[in-house]
Structure 1
Amino acid sequence: MTTVPEKDSLLAHLSADRRYLAMLGLGFSAGMPYLLVYPTQAAWLSDAQVPIQTIGLMSELTIAYKLKFIWAPFLDKYDAPVFSALLGRRRGWIVLSQIAVMLSLMGVAFGDPAHFLGYTVAFSLALGVAGATQDVTIDGWRITSVPVAKQSVMTAISEMGYRFGNLAAGAGALLLADRYGWPAAYFFMASLMLVGAVSAFIAPEPDSDFTVSHKHPGFVATVIAPIKEMITRLGPLALPIFLMIAGFRLPGYISSAMAMPLFKSLHYSDTEIATVTKLFGFWIALAATFFSAYIIRRIGLMPSLLVGTVAGSAAHLSLAWLATQSGGDFWGFALAVSIEGFAYAFAQVVLINYMSSLTATELAASQFALLTSLCAFPGSLLAGSSGFVIAHTGFTMFFVATSLIGIPVALLCWYVVRLHPVVTPDPERHGSAG
């Protein structure tokens, strides 16, 4: 395996080390299920004349992504049937979860939501659980397969693959459905999961899988152990770190819930919205992913975290500015959305790197799942009230307020950066093969 200097380009890493190439394919498969559980499927439900109230309730089928921390510890402690014996614990769970995703997608494809919605709900729920499980297992492999010093590159490549997976499950599925129908689109999405399965087979087994413990503690001990270990290791900084993670994406979750209503209120057409948010948005997010990897390697993780906190919140002011316009200015619309999208993607990659650095090798999957759930819950809960807030304040003040929420989070981040300038929770991962 060729060693590539950390400051070389992402493309150099991809060509020199199969771990990064495998991560690109695994990121692609991770980027598909979530959109196919709800956002993309909502278009199918609309075509099937499912009532709008029911379509809204169907969004709750993504709940598995917020509750994955409950079963994630068992993926760290138990082997996957058959596959772990062949591939190791982490890759075994990856392949098994991908098979479950493919079967669930085919199950949805056979459905007819216009006449038998219960069937679609059941397989969509299964798809959510399988997709969330795949996320947990891929994150566990990503974190343990390279030392902490290489996580910025690995995360950027993972996000690159994830964006392509989003594009396939979003715009790709919509185009296929328009031409061949929804069942064919979902069958094709199931076949694309083979990209991730092949990547799992070519991915090298992490060193930690060779020394993995086969002790099986009880249910309570399995769930509590990852939380207890992290709190003990972080000590007095545990509370401020957890609060910072919980608040880091809080402005973004609240803001994103009302972005589409803002665009529609300004009378932008569906074509204009799709062009800016999907086409432009894809390349903007991809550019932010490359930029974040560059910045982390140049100034370090903790300063980048502080920059991401400030930029991610301040960028909502671009939407506040857009809300003051009368609409019709396409390039002003594109500029505002691009600024917010770039900052959001940058902050997300930096946060993933930071949360990855906080995990211990043996508990990587469960602890990362716990941190991502902690990040998602507060914003998801508060986003539901965003429409009531706008009814009283209007769009402009709403987006200004979401930016201001970032001030206490930034101060908390500054406090953590001062007292926790170097993240070295697991010396074993710093010394692993690179």
Structure 2
Amino acid sequence: MYHFTSYPIFDNIYNKCFENTLEAINTNRPLQNTANHHLWSFMVGLCCGTPYILTASTLKAWFTSADVSIIVIGWLSIINIFYLLKFIWAPFFDFYNPFGYKSVKGWAVLSHAFMGMMLIVLSYCDPYIHTGLTISIAIVVSFFGSCITLALDGYWIRFIQGQKVSTFSGITEVGYRLGKIITGGCTLIIADHFDWHIVYMCSGFIIILLGTVMFFAPEIEHRKNNHQPNYLNAMSNSFQHIFHHGTWVLISFLIIVKVNEALEHHLLPVFMIRHLQLSLTTVGIITKFIGIISNLIGLGIAIKLIDLYKYKNSLFVGLVIHVIATMLYLLLCYTPLPNIPFLTFITLIDNISRGIISTTLLAFYASQINQELSATQLSIFSFLTGLSGIFFAPIASYIVFYFGWQTLFLTSCVLTAPSLILLLLLNNELERKRHLKILLHFRLPQIKRNY
């Protein structure tokens, strides 16, 4: 799920961009209690920020601590493929509601319950002794986590209709980032002082508790229409709409733009724990607390860059900064270890660049999306951009295993070149949709989906 934070310095930009747009949004019901609905907006963000990290960086840190092969750890990225494939069942969530519920919120409540139970089961596994079983259960956890984010994406869009979108976006963003800190940073600190069994056991109860809270969230009925839901038509229309707005150059760019990030980012916990010999507490503080703050800085920079210089230039700045950060990681390998101040600085630069790239891409997505199938088309765009993260992460593990960390970072720098070349050919496509009038309506941050 994606969000944008409301910064005071950008309030004028938000108001100018959305003043006329908000008047045109169709509402299903008025929101009477502003404070109450601010709370529910925060809860939606919190619920969407917690699931993904538990089967991403936190799971890799667990496998790293258990001394599992880096080859296996690299392949763990495949577990989260459901977050990319959720566009397959997105129309089902848009068209149907669980028994006893009037909105897509029901899918979120049920998914919370099942994910929480599977996390408790996962807590009893040993990734070193029962590697296959642990991965199998983690796959199930990932599926229900993707269902949570998919359901709450649709719920949130309906929930904020007719309201000041920038305000609700900021509140939701706070909850989203807090959720990532809890399951990404706090879990590593707990594991460092207690045990991984405690980490995933507590995470399971937290997920169940969040689902219980969302059970009491306001019901929002689906908007009625005159045509019968048709899955094949929904998927066909979504793909046709997306490919109608982009040439093969654009599609290729979306697929490879995050190759360099995929090569290095998915193995950074392993790099810090094994190569730099850092404690889990230190890794949690650097990667999540500092990383998320710097990512928010990148988000704010991206909004300003898009408004002033359009999508192309914003992406160019983000890619160049990311190359610089990767070169600094390469330099870190040749400095006396552990060099925590230098690592903290690199993490700051790296996450700022990722925030700029992710935010700019999602802003471009929002400008291309047909609102009638917003959840489905958002999922398809995320699928295109996330392909590299799923399939290049295992390649990164082989590079490290056979050639070392220095080769990995150098390869990541070199593979940025194709993205920059394609970007030069995307001037017209990216500049064609300059305004941000739909951006916060869809509450896009992911990033994501791919920090």
TM-score (norm. length: structure 2): 0.74
For residue 374 of structure 1, what is the amino acid of its counterpart? L
Equivalent residue in structure 2 for 1:345, among 344, 355, 374 = 355
Counterpart for residue 30 of structure 1: 48
Other structure's SS at 1:270 match: coil
Would the aligned equivalents of 2:291 and 2:347 in 1 still touch at CA under 8 Å?
A: no
Residue 169 of structure 1: CA displacement?
1.6
Counterpart for residue 404 of structure 1: 417
Counterpart for residue 73 of structure 1: 91
Q: Is residue 381 of structure 1 aligned with residue 391 of structure 2?
A: yes
Residues 81-138 of structure 1 show CA distances to partners (whole Å, capped at 9, x for unaligned) of 323x3xx2x2222222222221221222344556655553443221111011112122
How far apart, CA to CA, are the structure 1 residues paired with 2:270 and 2:59?
19
Counterpart for residue 416 of structure 1: 429
Q: Is residue 124 of structure 1 aligned with residue 138 of structure 2?
A: yes
Residue 344 of structure 1: CA displacement?
0.9
Q: Is residue 306 of structure 1 aligned with residue 312 of structure 2?
A: yes
Q: Is residue 97 of structure 1 aligned with residue 111 of structure 2?
A: yes
Counterpart for residue 123 of structure 2: 109
Higher helix share: 1
Residues 172-196 of structure 1 show CA distances to partners (whole Å, capped at 9, x for unaligned) of 2233345553333223112222564
Q: Cα gap change, 1:48/1:242 in structure 2, threshold over 3 Å: closer, same or farther?
A: closer
Q: Please list, as runs of the form range in 1=range in 2, the aligned pairs for 1:205-216 lying within 5 A after superposition.
A: 209-211=222-224, 215-216=228-229
**Is the deviation greater in 247-256 or in 108-117?**
108-117
Q: Is residue 39 of structure 1 aligned with residue 46 of structure 2?
A: no
Counterpart for residue 201 of structure 2: 187
Residue 372 of structure 1: CA displacement?
0.7
How far apart, CA to CA, are the structure 1 residues paired with 2:147 and 2:411?
35
Q: Please list, as runs of the form range in 1=range in 2, the aligned pairs for 1:241-260 lying within 5 A after superposition.
A: 241-257=250-266, 259=268
How far apart, CA to CA, are the structure 1 residues paired with 2:213 and 2:360?
24
Q: Is residue 332 of structure 1 aligned with residue 332 of structure 2?
A: no
For residue 359 of structure 2, what is the amino acid of its counterpart? V
Residues 302-330 of structure 1 show CA distances to partners (whole Å, capped at 9, x for unaligned) of 84633541233112213313423531343
Residue 339 of structure 1: CA displacement?
0.6
Would the aligned equivalents of 1:77 and 1:214 in 2 still touch at CA under 8 Å?
A: no
Counterpart for residue 446 of structure 2: none
Would the aligned equivalents of 2:56 and 2:77 in 1 still touch at CA under 8 Å?
A: yes
Residue 362 of structure 1: CA displacement?
3.1
Residue 370 of structure 1: CA displacement?
1.1
Counterpart for residue 328 of structure 2: 321
% identity of equivalent residues: 19
Unpaired segments ≥5 residues, structure 2: 1-6, 15-32, 443-451
Would the aligned equivalents of 1:111 and 1:120 in 2 still touch at CA under 8 Å?
A: yes
TM-score (norm. length: structure 1): 0.76
Other structure's SS at 2:228 match: coil
Counterpart for residue 278 of structure 2: 270
Q: Please list, as runs of the form range in 1=range in 2, the aligned pairs for 1:94-243 lying within 5 A after superposition.
A: 94-111=108-125, 113=127, 119-146=133-160, 157-194=171-208, 196-197=210-211, 200-201=214-215, 209-211=222-224, 215-217=228-230, 219-231=231-243, 235-237=244-246, 239=248, 241-243=250-252
Counterpart for residue 363 of structure 1: 373
**Is the deviation greater in 91-100 or in 21-30?**
21-30
For residue 245 of structure 1, what is the amino acid of its counterpart? L
Other structure's SS at 1:79 match: coil
Other structure's SS at 2:79 match: helix
**Is the deviation greater in 239-248 or in 146-155?**
146-155
Counterpart for residue 286 of structure 2: 279
Other structure's SS at 2:11 match: coil
Residue 46 of structure 1: CA displacement?
5.5
